[in-house]
Amino acid sequence: MRIAVNTRLFLKGRLEGIGWFAHEILSRLVQRHPEHEFIFFFDRPYHKDFIFGPNVTPVVLKPQARHPALYYLWTEWAVPYALRKYKADLYFSPDGLGTLRSRVPTCITIHDLAYKHYPQFMDKMHKWHYAHYLPRFAQKARRIIAVSEFTRQDIVRQYGIDEQRIDVVYNGAHEAYRPLSYEEREAVKAKYTQGEEFFLFTGALHPRKNVISLLKAFVQFKRRQRSRIKLVVVGRMAWQYEEIVKAKELMPYKEDVIWTGYLNVEDLAQVTASAYAMVYPSLFEGFGIPILEAMACDVPVIVSNTSSMPEVGGEAALLVDPASPEDIAAKMMTIYKDEVLRDKMIAAARKQKEKFSWERSAEKLWESLMKCVPQP
């Protein structure tokens, strides 16, 4: 069988949520199924590290799909042409961009419908493209992958699609995320926080991540609790980040906030495993990979009580109202003061993280792909 795959988000040194999902799943499927040929569709020159085996044929399609107008040219012209040229039996798109102009059976992954819930955080062109095309891609696809039960039910509600056509395939945590020894944690703190304990936030920085409320909560925490603890913020400035930049410069206690920018997975895993707690008050998530990554490192998590985050955190998380900096600050105070609670949360995290595995996710996604095509 020839399986064509949209791999446009395979960007060396710049893998983020959806890119990691595709990377971890596909690297396993290529190795497990040498009897099948995988045709990877890139939209720019690719790195050899993304060619996971001899059964991968890399193809660069034009134009680079980085803007809604170019999405259209890529999905409705370049991809259908390539599917015919390479005689694909199946097309898998892990970022939700399907195609309407091909009869090849298609499976797409929908990570979230954030554009429906927070349209104000998207520019007009992206919002229009998602609103116009994503429901059509979903209706046309043979199977849909949702990364959480919350997202699955959201697709059912928003698009009226039969839930029997939607399979839940969770994210996993990269193998680099693991608990560190005391000595290793101390070395990381010496590098980033002058040896002090720290709260951690990770993620691309844009309004939906709710970083402004986190900064306000941290200021309240520092005013109430005389502590040398720091806040480490990891992630690139993504879009609509002007308010974040302004707050970064003007906020009280700004000397206690460390902004690292984007970190590679090895460095980020070490920072995560050295944190006192992860604080992740995002407004909306289809899954929330940093929550799982923290739990994999025996780090307790404070997360929003919205969307998929309670599902991912389970009993291992303290839930907060993301619209309330006061509530976020109060939960930070609670976990800082109550060592017994913190230990209980770490123990719960060790159980909760067992629900998520890239190995299991790869198996489930393969089963979904096979439902798209006739079996011998």
Q: Mean pLDDT across the chain, nearest whole number?
A: 95
In CATH terms, the fold of domain 2-172+358-370 is Rossmann fold (3.40.50)
Residue 247 has pLDDT above 90, yes or no: no
- 182-354 is classed in which CATH architecture? 3-Layer(aba) Sandwich (3.40)
Residue 310 has pLDDT above 80, yes or no: yes
Give the strands of the sheet with 317-320, arranged side by side. Answer: 257-261, 230-234, 198-202, 277-280, 301-304, 317-320
Beta bridge partners of 106: 91
**Phi and psi dihedrals of 167, rounded to 5?**
-110, 140
pLDDT of residue 241: 80
| Better-scored residue on pLDDT, 60 or 123 | 60
Does this chain's domain 2-172+358-370 share its CATH topology with 182-354? yes
Domain boundaries, the chain: 2-172+358-370, 182-354
Q: Can you tell me the mean pLDDT for 58-83? A: 95
Q: Can you tell me the mean pLDDT for 343-350? A: 95
Residue with tokens 């609103």: 131
Residue with tokens 């909760």: 352
Q: How do residues 103-143 score in pLDDT, each as one tens digit?
A: 999 999 999 999 999 999 888 999 999 999 999 999 999 99
- CB-hemisphere CA count at 13 Å for 189? 21
pLDDT of residue 201: 98
C-alpha pair distances (Å), 55 with each of 3, 12, 35, 125, 371: 10, 21, 8, 37, 22
Q: Can you tell me the mean pLDDT for 73-89? A: 97
Residue 331 has pLDDT above 80, yes or no: yes
Q: How do residues 347-358 score in pLDDT, each as one tens digit?
A: 999 999 999 999
> Model confidence at 233, in pLDDT bands (50, 70, 90)?
very high
Q: What percent of the chain has pLDDT over 90?
A: 88
> Model confidence at 16, in pLDDT bands (50, 70, 90)?
confident
| Better-scored residue on pLDDT, 66 or 295 | 295
pTM of the model: 0.92
